[in-house]
Amino acid sequence: MSQDLRTYLDTVKQNNSEDFLVVSREVDPAFEITAITVKLEQEAKRRPIILFEKVKGTKFPVLTNLHAGRSRLAAAIRAKPEEMQRAYLSAMEKPIAPKIVANAPVKEAILTSEQVDLYQLPQILHHEEDAGPYITAAISFAKDPNGGTWNCAYNRLMIKSRNTTSIHLTLGKHLWEFQRIAEAQGRALPVAFAVGVHPAIALGCLAIGSIDEDERAIMGGLLGEPLELVKCETSDVLVPAHAEMIIEGEILPHERTAEGPFGEFTGYSLGEREREVLKVRAVTHRRDAIFQDISVGHLDHLMLSTTPIEANLYRAVHAMVPSVKAVRIPAPFTVYVSIEKKTEGQGKNAILAVLGADLYMKHVIVVDHDIDIFNDQRVQWAVGTRCQADRDVMIVSNVGGSDLDPSDLKDGVTAKMGIDATAKPLLGSFTPRHRVPKNVLDRLELKDFVPASWLAQRAGKR
């Protein structure tokens, strides 16, 4: 299977040309790229991959909205849309270790030292409150300073000078942990960022597991073959050989810089914070590299992130409640879980499993398997009719959470809530739901009682 972004794009164009849009007119990277993406989604009800061929101030074309289609993401991991979670779980259960190669397309151009100039990249401003241009599609690759554990993640980079950026490290996450270990030793942490990768690599980097679980092997599981890696020019960090661009650098110890505001996935623009500093040592790229952008807080971002999180939460709940049926993330920091409850207490067990598995999750609603968790009204119906607040709601205060939560009073410290909206003690013995007799529903045909013209008229208005 090809591991490069270009081959994947060619496949999309061949299979569904309407899913790929080329904009040949020059655009301003200040807001116009995001604005066109949003207008297509909201006004035209379309969410194609978009390639902006001419971007003001840079030689690099910009690709965005890559992940905004569920069928596109599914095809990237050789799955049907309805089988994505199963395919993702299979890759987590059967990872394929990466392999190192000597030569790589991403080395066609090598810029080091004084040649590094981040201002030559597209200076993309996404939202009106953003403090500056951001690189949003950067996947970090780093190694534990004290061992052989690797970590991959998305980290936003705010361009501060020709060779420095700020970097947002999520409190308590693995790259944050690596940086703190290096900083305690007075050392910089070598790190490199891949920009422009096959969607299977993007999905794999978002796998959530223990710190010794190698996301690079999960990428291989999703690709169906070992991820090909190449050594960086300025460090021993290994990066995807078929990426469009690699930004090599190190996170400096004991240095911080102002970062933000920036419009995040929450739908809010979080204010200025002190963040770590990345010193860029080299940039390597394909000769005619495509610069990838992610429209943060829009479908391109949200659809990419929810698939791995839902798979990981399903795995975590399944370990505690084997009869789990489905997991869904309907909103930031919120998850719905459907279980076939076999014994009393499993609803709260599912809540504890979710809260222990993901730092970001703070609201968990657990329902019985007869509730469609993809229907918000049915979930709220279960909360309203199967839940008593003093019995079924659990709240944990002052715990670690996301530092991107605009409602927290202290950075990264939050409260978490679980709602057990399952029938008590069990669904089978709960107050029966009213229903029309099935034999009557099966026997009656609307066309025998309602004019066909009226039915056709109503159908057309939906």
3-state DSSP of 325-387: EEEEEEECCEEEEEECCCCCCHHHHHHHHHHHHCCCCCEEEEEECCCCCCCHHHHHHHHHHHC
pLDDT band at 209 (very low <50, low <70, confident <90, very high): confident
What average pLDDT score do residues 437-462 get? 81
Give the number of other Cβ atoms within 10 Å of residue 188's Cβ.
22
> In the prediction, which pLDDT does 51 show?
97
pLDDT above 60: residue 351: yes
Q: What's the CATH number for 321-462?
A: 3.40.1670.10
Sign of CA dihedral 408, 413, 417, 418: positive
Q: Which residue has the higher pLDDT, 3 or 208?
A: 3
pLDDT band at 269 (very low <50, low <70, confident <90, very high): confident
What is the Cα–Cα distance from 362 to 358, expressed in whole angstroms? 9
* CATH 2.30.110.10 intervals, the chain: 5-299
What pLDDT, in 10s, does the model give residues 97-130? 999 999 899 999 999 999 999 999 999 999 988 9
Pairs from 68-74 (Cβ < 8 Å, separation ≥ 24): 68/41, 68/295, 68/298, 68/299, 68/300, 68/303, 69/19, 69/303, 70/303, 72/12, 72/19, 72/199, 73/199, 73/203, 73/303, 73/304, 73/307
- Give the DSSP letter of residue 286: -
- Give the DSSP letter of residue 59: S
The backbone torsions φ and ψ at residue 154, rounded to the nearest 5 degrees and listed phi first, read: -85, 130
pLDDT above 90: residue 136: yes
> In the prediction, which pLDDT does 340 show?
96
**Residue 267, by phi and psi: left (phi above 0), alpha (psi -120 to 50) or beta?**
left
pLDDT above 70: residue 460: no
pLDDT band at 459 (very low <50, low <70, confident <90, very high): low
Residue 32, token pair as written in the block: 């116009």
> In the prediction, which pLDDT does 458 show?
58
Closest CA to 90 of 202, 7, 204, 210: 204
What average pLDDT score do residues 334-363 get? 93
pLDDT above 70: residue 425: yes
CA 344-346-352 angle, to 5 degrees, is 140
> In the prediction, which pLDDT does 348 show?
96
CA 16-19-24 angle, to 5 degrees, is 120
What is the Cα–Cα distance from 389 to 462, expressed in whole angstroms? 37
Buried b (16+ CB within 10 A) or exposed e, 16-51: eeebbbebeeebebbebbbebbbebbeeeeebbbbb
What pLDDT, in 10s, does the model give residues 57-88? 999 999 999 999 888 999 999 999 889 999 99
Residue tagged 């929450």 (tokens): 266
Closest CA to 341 of 379, 309, 380, 369: 369
Residue 155, token pair as written in the block: 């980290």
What pLDDT, in 10s, does the model give residues 153-208? 999 999 999 999 999 998 778 899 999 999 999 999 999 999 999 999 999 998 87
Do strands 291-292 and 62-64 pair parallel, antiparallel, or not at all (unpaired)?
A: parallel
Alpha helical stretches, state H, 70-120: 70-76, 84-93
Percent residues over pLDDT 70 in the chain = 99
Query: Which residues are CB-neighbours of 386 under 8 A, at least 6 positions away?
Result: 367, 368, 421, 422, 423, 424, 430
Q: What's the CATH number for 5-299?
A: 2.30.110.10
> In the prediction, which pLDDT does 1 show?
65
> In the prediction, which pLDDT does 217 show?
96
pLDDT band at 17 (very low <50, low <70, confident <90, very high): confident
What is the Cα–Cα distance from 117 to 135, expressed in whole angstroms? 14
> In the prediction, which pLDDT does 457 show?
72
- The answer to which of 77-86, 341-350, 372-381 has the lowest mean pLDDT is 77-86
* CATH 3.40.1670.10 intervals, the chain: 321-462
Q: Is 414 exposed, middle or buried, given 0-12, 13-18 or 19+ CB atoms closer than 10 A? A: buried
What is the Cα–Cα distance from 353 to 236, expressed in whole angstroms? 37
